[in-house]
Structure 1
Amino acid sequence: MASPLEVTKTATLTGHRDCVYTLERSGQENIFFSAAGDGFVVAWDLNNPENGDLIANANSSVYALKYLADKDLLVIGQNFKSLQVVSPGTKKLVHTVAMPPVSIFELAYSEMNQKLYAGLADGSLVEIETDKTLSFSVKKVVKGNGKSLRCLALNEARNELAAGYSDHSIKIFDAGTLKLKQEIEAHANSVFTVAYTPDGKYLLSGSRDAHLRVWNAEKNYEEHASIIAHMFTINHIAFSPDGKYFATCSMDKSIKVWDAASFKLLKVIDKARHAGHGTSVNKLFWSGHENALVSCSDDRTISVWDIKLKRYEDNTVRNSAENV
């Protein structure tokens, strides 16, 4: 059976001079940020995608960005040096937070707790406290075992922070205290991405072992599903704005779109069928602006995809992993 989704590539954004590693939302649905190995942090407008606006130059590779919606600030994880806090509107540096001299792989932010979390290449989990005066200060460092902390996901409803590591594990922390609540032997290789479903009931994880795993947060994180989702490393997971779908991207150069209720594969986006990326797809951003799915890659480009649900006479969604 045919896929229920139609996918059209609407734009290819160029300008970065190195691998594009990360994408992040802004305070406007049509604006998003990208960062790359060239150190450039760029704002893009989906209404006028041809030209990016340089927000900052970190002078080293940037793997992690985090937009703080309640403060209208963008945090830049500058490799081997610091966190830079920038005002996107003025492009001015607001604050710098000194960090250990290792790569910053991931950032997460709890508006409820007014805390920023950073995952580092040495396995450390760093808690940075913020306040209304826009002050940022390191309050706590949870040391790891030397294996990289690759990814973070925050569940505000449960006040939990999930962290994925290169030792194949996922650790669940209390987001307020950073007390370890649980450790999951999750994968057969490094955990590269974790994401909670919008309702907070499930945690999804993707790994270098190419498996997508689903954990039931309401049942002590017992395994709900295990899917061989890609040929190689799963780099990122992103949910659609309405929460009905999620997308995965991989080192195998493809993007896959899934049904969030059944975890069934709905669509494969690749180079052969959709003029997709030619190398590893590193990160996804699913915008509320016209349901645009944005992807970035080692090929130095950013692609914008229009995702539409086909209309059937029986008005049902036909989920099939065949011919997608």
Structure 2
Amino acid sequence: MSTLQIERIDTFSGHRGPVYALENGVDSLFYSAGSDGWVVQWNLAKPDLGKVIAQVDGSVYALKLDSEGILWIGHNYQGIQGIRVSDQTQVFSIPTSGLSIFSIEFVGSTAWLGHNDGMVTVVDVATKSVLKHIKASEKSVRTILVLSANRIAVGYSDGFIRIFDADYQLLKAFQAHESSVFSLAKRGGDLYSVGKDARIKQWGTDYSLVNEVVGHIYAIHDLHFSPNGHWLATASMDKTVKIWETDGLKLCKVLDATRHGGHKNSVNKLIWSSFDDLLVSASDDKNLSVWKIH
């Protein structure tokens, strides 16, 4: 392993249950949410108590900040709520009839919402009206990623990645993991995926397999590239965060409770902030850890 230096510079606590969702904000701000229904704003520049900007019934699995400063909050079974982060006012609400929302992604002037029944709901961002329902599987939609203006990758709990165009047509479907595909990321023209089978996979521009490593002992829930693209972080049910060299997927560091004061339970989500290159991890242990990687 390389001589990468990792420092845990803070732990943010305050959530009353597991934390499932993270989202970068403007500058040093970011947002977290989870099973307690609290949506909390944190400031990496002032690591004091977070500010609860919304409270909803049930769990929150997905957060997404739009270009207008509205945070889209995916309720468990109650649809989407939009909160203006500057003054915490609710701007809109979109019911989705009893479906959990696991992923929110903006595609041009639309928002794609991934549900637990295998449905993708496409919403017009301006009018908040539903434009389309895309049903390509009976299994949950776990993650959505915009690859280009006319390519959207969707990962499902049946282990498939399906590629759609902006007109909602299915262009390609391929078995990527043995079971759930939990997270997708891109770098250059390549697509990266992680899943319940604990593997990290790199796919070329034609979606052929370029590289594969067994990344963790148990399911990998999330992956995130550093702002410069040189490093890849993965978060796992095995309670660890791992840092990889992007080129070749070479393991550099394991962040765990014993050696680095890491998480005591499953790690669910990551964001890598452009503010001071800080990595944030969220866990079932109710805490957020902030890591500085030198």
TM range (shorter): over 0.9
Question: What is the CA–CA distance in structure 2 between the aligned matches of 1:144 and 1:15, rounded to whole Å?
Answer: 38
Question: What is the CA–CA distance in structure 2 between the aligned matches of 1:126 and 1:4, rounded to whole Å?
Answer: 45
CA shift for structure 1 position 102 = 1.6
CA shift for structure 1 position 27 = 2.1
Question: What is the CA–CA distance in structure 2 between the aligned matches of 1:266 and 1:115, rounded to whole Å?
Answer: 38
Q: Deviations over 1:74-104 (max 9, x none)?
A: 1000110110011000100101111131211
Matched, 1:262 2:259: no
Question: What is the CA–CA distance in structure 1 between the aligned matches of 2:13 and 2:229, rounded to whole Å?
Answer: 29
Q: Secondary structure in 2 aligned to 1:5?
A: coil
Based on CA coordinates, which of the two structures has the bigger radius of gyration? 1
Question: What is the CA–CA distance in structure 1 between the aligned matches of 2:256 and 2:197, rounded to whole Å?
Answer: 20
| Number of aligned positions between the proteins | 294
Q: 1:76-225 counterparts in 2 under 5 A?
A: 76-110=73-107, 113-131=108-126, 135-156=127-148, 159-174=150-165, 176-197=166-187, 199=188, 201-217=189-205, 220-225=206-211
- Letter aligned with residue 119 of structure 1: G
CA shift for structure 1 position 274 = 0.3
- Preserved CA contact (<8 Å) 1:127 1:138: yes
Question: What is the CA–CA distance in structure 2 between the aligned matches of 1:167 and 1:22, rounded to whole Å?
Answer: 22
Question: What is the CA–CA distance in structure 2 between the aligned matches of 1:3 and 1:281, rounded to whole Å?
Answer: 23
Question: What is the CA–CA distance in structure 1 between the aligned matches of 2:54 and 2:292, rounded to whole Å?
Answer: 28
- Letter aligned with residue 9 of structure 1: R
Q: TM-score, normalised by structure 1?
A: 0.89
CA shift for structure 1 position 290 = 1.1
- Letter aligned with residue 12 of structure 1: T
- Preserved CA contact (<8 Å) 1:62 1:78: yes
Q: Secondary structure in 1 aligned to 2:68?
A: coil
Question: What is the CA–CA distance in structure 1 between the aligned matches of 2:111 and 2:197, rounded to whole Å?
Answer: 29
1:234 corresponding residue in structure 2: 220
- Preserved CA contact (<8 Å) 2:79 2:100: no
5+ unaligned residues in a row in structure 1: which ranges?
309-324
- Letter aligned with residue 168 of structure 1: G
CA shift for structure 1 position 262 = 2.4
CA shift for structure 1 position 159 = 2.4
Question: What is the CA–CA distance in structure 2 between the aligned matches of 1:150 and 1:115, rounded to whole Å?
Answer: 18
Question: What is the CA–CA distance in structure 2 between the aligned matches of 1:145 and 1:227, rounded to whole Å?
Answer: 27
Question: What is the CA–CA distance in structure 2 between the aligned matches of 1:275 and 1:159, rounded to whole Å?
Answer: 43
5+ unaligned residues in a row in structure 2: which ranges?
none
Q: Secondary structure in 1 aligned to 2:258?
A: helix
CA shift for structure 1 position 4 = 2.6
- Preserved CA contact (<8 Å) 1:122 1:144: no
Question: What is the CA–CA distance in structure 2 between the aligned matches of 1:109 and 1:260, rounded to whole Å?
Answer: 26
- Preserved CA contact (<8 Å) 2:279 2:291: yes
Q: Secondary structure in 2 aligned to 1:50?
A: coil
Q: TM-score, normalised by structure 2?
A: 0.97
